[in-house]
Copies of this chain bind each other. A is one copy, B any other.
Amino acid sequence: MPAPGSASLIALDWGTTGLRAYLLGADGAVLEKKEQALGILNVKNGDFAGAFREATGAWPKAPALAAGMIGSRQGWREAPYVECPAGLDALARGLLAVPSADLKIVPGVSMVDADGVPDVMRGEETQIFGVVEGGVFSGGASGIAVLPGTHSKWVAVQAGKIARFATFMTGEAFAAISGHTILGRLFAGETFDAQGFARGVDHAAREAKGRGGLLHRLFSARTLGLFDKIPGAGLHSYLSGLLIGAEIEEACAWLGGKPARVAVIGGAALSASYERALQRRGIAADIAAPDAAAQGLWRIARAAKLVA
C-alpha cells in the first residue's frame, strides 16, 4: 500500500465488459492497478456507485476520473460528446460530475463526416491523449493512430488535437463471421499461424478491379480450405489477416493515402497482429506502452486542474 499522502488521482478505464482502476501518484505514476469484470454490462441494477466502491474503496481518498462507456447512455451518467477537432482542453472543459461520488467522467468525441454520417468514440480519446505527449507519435503532437478492437478506431491527430477519426467494425465482424457462418467449420484450432495470417493480409491488399472486395474475398477462406490450399490450422489466422488487412486498406483509403507510420494502441496480442499486418503493407508500427488510458486520464485531470 502506498502512503495515503502520495495518492493524487483514481483513474478509471471503465468499458463495456471490464473496469481497470489505477491509483496514480503525484507524478502520474501507477501506484496500484486493479482489473475487474465490472464493465457497465456486468454492473447489476445500475449500481455503479457500489461497483466504484468495490473497485476503489480500499484506496486512499483522491479525486476520481473515469473514461469509456461508463459515460454512455447505458452507463452511470451520459456524458456529452466533444466535437472534432478535440483537444485536451476541450475534454477537460467537458468533464461531467457525478454528484453522488467524488468522480468526474470524460466526454466522448464525435464527428460528422462529409456524407452526413456521425461517428463516435468513448474511451479511445483518453488513450490517444495518453500517448500524444508520450513520444509514440514520431512527429510530436501529430500522427495517425489505430486502436484495434471490437470497433477499431483510426485517428488522425493534428497539432495535439483529434482532427478526425473513423470506426471499423473489424473485431465484431470477425467474431460474428467466425462463429456464425460456414467459414468457422473448417477451422482446426485458433493458434496463430504466421503464414495463414500473411496470406490473408496479402489477399486483402489486392485491388478490387477484376476481383471484387471483402464479401467475395471472405469466401476464399472457405474454398482455400476445401481445396487444401490452406491447412485447417491456418484458416483462423487467414481470416484474421483478411479482415485486419481489409481494415488497413480501408483506413488508407479513408486517410487518402498510405501513412509512413502508425501508432498502435491496444492489448499486446492484438497490437502484435496489427504491427505484423502494417509492416507487411510497408507501414511502420509504433506500439504504445500499456496503460495509455491511465496516462490519458492523468493528463486530462491535470488540464482540468483536478491534480496539481
Q: Which of A's residues lie within 8 Å of B, judged by CB?
A: 113-120, 151, 166-170, 172-173, 175-177, 179-183, 203, 206, 208-216, 218-220, 223-224, 226-227, 229, 243, 246-247, 249-251, 253-254, 256
Contact = CB atoms under 8 A, between A and B. Distances in A.
A170 B118 contact: no
Contact of A115 (B114, B203, B251): B203
Contacts of A218: 169, 173
Contacts of A176: 176-177, 179-181
30 contacts: A113-B211, A114-B210, A114-B211, A117-B203, A117-B229, A118-B226, A118-B227, A120-B226, A166-B216, A167-B223, A168-B212, A168-B216, A169-B183, A169-B216, A169-B219, A173-B177, A173-B215, A175-B180, A176-B177, A176-B180, A179-B180, A180-B180, A208-B254, A210-B256, A213-B249, A213-B250, A213-B253, A214-B215, A215-B246, A215-B250
Contacts of A215: 168-170, 173, 214, 243, 246-247, 250
Contact of A211 (B169, B213, B253): B253
How many copies of this chain?
2
A167 B120 CA distance: 33
Given A118-B223, A203-B115, A254 B212 contact: yes
A212 B181 contact: no
Contacts of A117: 203, 220, 223-224, 229
A55 B117 CA distance: 52
A250 to B, nearest CB: 4
Nearest to A182: B172
A118 B168 contact: no
Contacts of A249: 213
Contacts of A175: 180-181
B115 A209 contact: no
Contacts of A166: 212, 216
Contacts of A114: 210-211
A254 B177 contact: no
